[in-house]
């Protein structure tokens, strides 16, 4: 078996592997778009295990900007870890992860990160690889009749020329915080153009025409799912979701929350909470003289200063 880079393998096999394992259309066109617009992937984009000419495994590798108590830093991140169903339990993912970590280490990175679900079999693999669970997202669910309430907040679907407003409010909220607070220019436009966020899913939250936050929200099968909610201090999460709900006919509302402030607001508003949820954020030290506890201290993990979302992690 060989470990090769994206440009050294058959892109049609890569697409097939991703559809088989992740239901993700990683077409050559999408790869080219990500490479052109997204500065986070390593130059080799992803690593592949090839056995007798067949692409049997994949690990994508990103470099993510974060803020720490010691200043700006980049951390590694793996994504789209997958194995061909005919080659499971052959240690392929382990070999690919070892190579990915070695390349991160050679690039001077101290930590590797990822987000996954604890109920997936891959979670056990990551634990064996030296990753630890350090943070989780909270799932909140309520009926529409519980969610709706009087609020001075309003929600408006963002048009493309307004995407930069979401970036601006992010920078305002991120000031003075730690973790995933350093987004590249044009981040939200990049997310939409690469297909990570649908164009009609981005909403701006306002109070008297002043933008106070944004949300990524989509209704499907009668459930409005708010997967990313960011608000300035003083803007209440439950009231922001009420404004979003007014613009939807969904009977149920689910909110994925990443801060205790938002969780507390949703709890007071009568949401059913799952805390922790299955979703987990994991960190692995890449060098011998640093620990996961050091990473938590550097990024303020476990405190309100720590900032992360599903948009920023992989």
Burial 101-129 (b: 16+ CB within 10 A, else e): beebeeeebbbbbbbbebeeebbebbeeb
- Strand ranges inside the chain, DSSP E: 2-5, 41-51, 54-68, 71-83, 111-117, 132-136, 138-143, 153-157, 178-179, 202-207, 210-220, 223-231, 252-257, 272-274, 279-285, 306-307
Round to whole Å and give the CA distance between 271 and 238: 9
Tell me the C-alpha distance between 235 and 143, whole Å.
22
The DSSP element (H or E) to which 183 belongs, if any, is: none
Is the Cα torsion angle 91, 95, 101, 102 positive or negative in sign? positive
pLDDT tens profile 21-80: 999 999 999 999 999 999 999 999 999 999 999 999 999 999 999 999 999 999 999 999
Strand arrangement, sheet containing 252-257: 153-157, 202-207, 210-220, 223-231, 252-257, 138-143, 272-274
pTM, rounded to two decimals:
0.93
Q: In 3D, which of 141, 169, 146, 184 has the Cα closest to residue 232?
A: 169
Is the per-residue pLDDT at 120 higher than 90? no
Report whether the peptide linkage leading into residue 276 is cis, meaning its omega lies within 30 degrees of zero.
yes
- Report the C-alpha gap between 140 and 46 in whole angstroms: 34
- For the chain, the C-alpha Rg in angstroms (whole number) is 20
Q: Is the pLDDT at 92 greater than 90, yes or no?
A: yes
Tokens of 269: 């508003």
Domains of the chain and CATH, by start: 2-136+279-307 (3.40.630.30), 138-274 (3.40.630.30)
Give pLDDT tens digits for 126-143: 999 999 999 999 999 999
pLDDT of residue 276: 84
Structure tokens at 94: 């382990």
Give 254's pLDDT tier (boundaries 50, 70, 90). very high
Question: Tens digit of pLDDT for each residue in 193-252?
Answer: 999 999 999 999 999 989 999 999 999 999 999 999 999 999 999 999 999 999 999 999
Instruction: Choose among 204, 86, 87: nearest CA to 154.
Output: 204
Residue for token digits 């939807």?
248
> For strand 223-231 and strand 252-257, is the pairing parallel, antiparallel, or unpaired?
parallel
């Amino acid at each position: 078996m060989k470990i090769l880079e994206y440009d050294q393998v058959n892109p049609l096999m890569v697409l097939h592997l991703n559809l088989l394992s992740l239901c993700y259309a990683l077409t050559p066109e999408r790869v080219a778009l990500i490479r052109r617009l997204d500065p986070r992937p390593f130059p080799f984009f992803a690593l592949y295990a090839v056995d007798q000419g067949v692409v049997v495994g994949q690990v994508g590798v990103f470099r993510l900007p974060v803020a720490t108590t010691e200043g700006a830093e980049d951390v590694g991140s793996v994504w789209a870890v997958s194995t061909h169903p005919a080659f499971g339990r052959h240690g392929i993912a382990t070999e690919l992860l070892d190579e990915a970590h070695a390349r991160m280490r050679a690039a001077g990175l101290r930590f590797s990160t990822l987000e996954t679900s604890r109920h997936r079999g891959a979670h056990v693999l990551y634990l064996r690889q030296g990753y630890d669970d350090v943070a989780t997202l909270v799932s909140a669910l309520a009926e529409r009749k519980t969610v709706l309430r009087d609020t001075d907040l309003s929600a408006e679907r963002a048009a493309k020329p307004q995407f930069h407003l979401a970036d601006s409010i992010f920078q305002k909220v991120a000031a003075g915080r730690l973790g995933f607070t350093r987004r590249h220019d044009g981040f939200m436009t990049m997310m939409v153009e690469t297909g990570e966020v649908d164009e009609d899913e981005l909403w701006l939250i306002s109070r008297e025409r002043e933008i106070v936050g944004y949300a990524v929200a989509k209704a499907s099968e009668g459930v409005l799912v708010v997967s990313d909610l960011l608000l300035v201090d003083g803007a209440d999460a439950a009231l922001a979701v009420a404004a979003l709900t007014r613009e939807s006919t969904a009977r149920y509302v689910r909110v994925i929350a990443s801060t205790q402030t938002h969780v507390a607001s949703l709890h007071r508003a009568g949401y059913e909470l799952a805390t922790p949820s299955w979703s987990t954020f994991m960190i692995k030290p890449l060098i011998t003289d640093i620990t996961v506890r050091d990473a938590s201290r550097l990024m303020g993990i476990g405190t309100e200063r720590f900032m992360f979302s599903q948009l920023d992690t992989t």
